Each structure stands twice: as C-alpha cells, then as structure tokens.
Amino acid sequence: MMKTKAFICIALAICLLASLASCTVSTTPVPTSTSTLVYASPEDFEYEIYGPNTSITGYKGAGGNVAIPPTMDGDSWVTSIDKNAFWGCTSITSIILPDVMKSIYPFAFHKCSNLTSITIPDGVASIDEWAFADCTSLTSINIPNSVTNIGPGAFTGCTSLTSINIPVYLTSISDQAFAVCTNLNSITIPNSVTSIGDGAFFNCPSLTNIIIPNSVTSIGRKAFAFCTNLTSITIPSSVTSIGDWAFSNYYDTGLVVYCNNPSAAWDYCEYEGITCQQIP
C-alpha cells in the first residue's frame, strides 16, 4: 500500500514538472487599447529598433486608412514617428497612432495632402516642428493634454483645419504653429500658455474673435497679422510685450482690441492706430 502511494506521488510530480516545462513567459507587448483595430502589416513600414523602443522611419504600404501596430517585432514598443517618416505620403487618408506612442518628430507627416484625420493617443508628449505642415485635407485634430510641446510650424498650411484644441499644459504657442490655417474659425487658448510666438496665427482669415488668457505675458511679431476677419481681441494686463505688426493688415478690418488703460496693449493700439476699448 505504501509503495502504491509513493508511485502515485512520483507520477504526479512528473506531470507537474512536465506542465511547468511547457509553460513560457511572453514578453510581447500588449496594446492597452481594447479596440478591435485591424493593424497595418509591419512590412508596410521601415523602422529602427533601439532596445525596448521602435521608431517608424518610413512607409511603403498601399495607403488609405493606416493603423500603426504597437509593436513591429513582438519585443519592443513603437514609441515615435521619426523625422520625414511619412513626408509626402499622399496615398494615406487617415492615421491611427498606437497607444504607446510618445513623440512625433519634425516633418513626420509633412505634405500628406490627402490625410483627413489622425488619432493621437494620450501619452504623446511632443509634436515637433512642421510635423503636420501642409496637410491640406486635415479638417480637425484632437491633441491630447499629455502634449507639452508643439513645435514651430507644426500645423502651418493646414488649410482645411476648422478647429483645434490646445492642450491644457502647453506653455508656449510656437512660431507659426497655426499659420495659414485659412479655415480655422475658432481657437481656445488655455490658461497654461504664457507666450504666443511670432506668426503663430498669421494669415488665419476665418478667425473672428480671440480671447487672450491672463497667463499670457507676450505676443510675438505678426502673431495675428492678416487675420482679415478678426473683429475682436481681448488682451489682459498680464501681457507686457507685443511684437511689431502683431495685428497688421493691408486694410482696416474694424478690429477692436479690448484691454485696460493703462496697459501695454493700450499703448500699443494707440501707437498703431488700432481702436481700443476698456475691458467691460
């Protein structure tokens, strides 16, 4: 009887060891999204792997709606779109970036002229200079609040863009960030912003009303120049510096600047011959 019990114990131990030996620990990244996206094939991309991170460096797929997979090799995350990666990819109509994305580098989607929409996940911290410049079919974009840097010219020439949200932790609107967005008709500047760069909204003729928050201390040269339908802008006393031709146009558009007297904005308007009125 004892021998039988011992035999059974040995048999169970062998089975347990065999089952453990067949188990493997997966290191493949798992997307945090629960969506049922059909991802593009890794063969559609050129990419570089840097340890645990992968950067997309080029695209050679058929275009259309492109959902970038979160991993190319099963071991590393796709965390960035490299410089010039999608430059001039006119075949692409929409892009979905993976949840693990952190950075969009300069000129990443420059001149993707048929791109109508892009999904940027929460977690992206930086959109570098000229990243979406001349994406002339892009109609709207939701920038997550994780973004703390929008580089110069990032959305310049997005002529179909009608609205855009500025992330609540952004501290500076860079030079020419939204210049020549000719259909941009509304913009809300959050209280985190302290400076508006040179030409930030240059030649945005569809803008009609702008309210500058109390956090802003400087407005750059030509920041709102050639916004030919701009009729009202409110500038708080916190603004102590306004660059040359900040609101200039070739002709009088009936612009009224609402500001306090005395203030830098009031002095600026009197010098430039712009109508100013006391903030109600």
Closest CA to 132 of 169, 67, 170, 176: 176
> Does residue 105 register a pLDDT over 50?
yes
Backbone angles phi, psi at 53, to 5 degrees: -120, 145
Tell me the pLDDT band of 23, cut-offs 50, 70 and 90.
very low
Residue 195, pLDDT > 90, answer: yes
DSSP 251: S
Give CA–CA dist 262/112, Å, rounded: 47
What average pLDDT does the segment 184-210 reach?
96
Burial of 206 (0-12, 13-18, 19+ CB in 10 A): middle
Mean pLDDT score, 187-207: 97
Strand 163-165 relative to strand 186-188, pairing = parallel
Q: Which of 20-34, 122-136, 262-276 has the lowest mean pLDDT?
A: 20-34
pLDDT tens string 226-256: 999 999 999 999 999 999 999 988 567 789 9
C-alpha Rg value of the chain to the nearest Å: 26
The structural domains of the chain, with segments of one domain joined by +, span 39-161, 177-280
Look at the block and give the residue holding tokens 């695209």.
59
- Mean pLDDT score of the chain: 89
Give the number of other Cβ atoms within 10 Å of residue 10's Cβ. Answer: 10
Q: List, in order, residues 6 or more apart from 244 with CB less than 8 Å away.
A: 221, 222
Q: What residue type is 71 in one-letter code?
A: T
pLDDT at position 19: 45
Say how many C-beta atoms besides its own lie within 10 A of residue 5's C-beta: 9
pLDDT at 280: 84
- Quote the tokens at residue 75: 């071991």
The Cα 78–Cα 48 span in angstroms is 10
Residue 6: the pLDDT is: 47
Structural fold of domain 39-161:
3.80.10
Mean pLDDT to the nearest integer, 26-49? 72
- Exposure string over 265-274, b if 16+ CB within 10 A, otherwise e: bbebbeeeeb
How wide is the angle at C-alpha 115 spanned by C-alphas 142 and 159, nearest 5°? 75
pLDDT at residue 253, rounded to an integer: 74
Evaluate if residue 25 carries a pLDDT over 90.
no
DSSP secondary structure code for residue 224 in this structure: T
pLDDT at 140: 84
Strand order through the sheet with 195-196? 172-173, 195-196, 218-219, 241-242
**Backbone dihedral angles phi then psi of residue 7, each to the nearest 5 degrees:** -60, -45
| Cα 54 to Cα 79: distance, rounded to the nearest angstrom | 6
| pLDDT at residue 220 greater than cutoff 90 | yes
| Neighbouring residues of 41: CB distance < 8 A, sequence distance ≥ 6 | 61
The CA distance from 268 to 75, in Å, is: 58
pLDDT score at 36: 62
Instruction: Give tens-digit pLDDT for 124-140.
Output: 999 999 999 999 999 98
